[in-house]
Amino acid sequence: MAKNTVRSTPEPQVEEPIEQDVKPSGKGVFSMVDKYIPIGQIFNEGLPVQYVPKVLFFAFVMMMYIANAHYADKLVRKIAKMNSEVNDLRADYTTLKADLMFKSKQSEVAKQVENLGLKESTEPPIKITEKQREY
């Protein structure tokens, strides 16, 4: 009978990654950026933690910049709307003022009160004077 023995299993051979300098062969924008800024080599050892606060600050500043641009656009639209409302109200004011000036003329007032039984006086008003008294 055969004796039970544990066979040693050969350890799998780990192939070391071969560093290949893959040069971009295109003439595009990304190939030029990769040629001068090798981003793949920066993250080989992991994320450089020393840059995280700077990146977060930059992202925050960019978000504030975008929010400010949206707020400015919204404000410009609101100002344009208010200017059109002011122009409409100014036109209404001018129309109402002209209408009031017309209705407050003496001839127009006389026409308005004629159906109430009031008539316009044809005699000029008399000035009443008082003699000066000494105190």
Q: What is the pLDDT at residue 26?
A: 63
Q: Tell me the torsion sign for CA atoms 112, 116, 122, 127.
A: negative
| pLDDT at residue number 99 | 96
> How high is the pLDDT of residue 14?
67
In order, the DSSP letters of 20-71 are: --------SHHHHHHHHS-HHHHTSS---GGGHHHHHHHHHHHHHHHHHHHH
- pLDDT, block means (10 residues), the chain with 135 residues: 72 66 66 79 76 93 98 98 97 97 91 88 89 80
Phi first, then psi, for residue 97 (nearest 5°) are: -65, -40
Any idea where the domains of the chain sit in the sequence?
Answer: 29-106
pTM of the model: 0.48
Q: 110, 120 in Cβ contact below 8 A?
A: yes
Residue-level pLDDT at 19: 59
CA contacts within 13 A on the Cβ side of 108? 7
Which pLDDT does position 133 carry in this prediction? 81
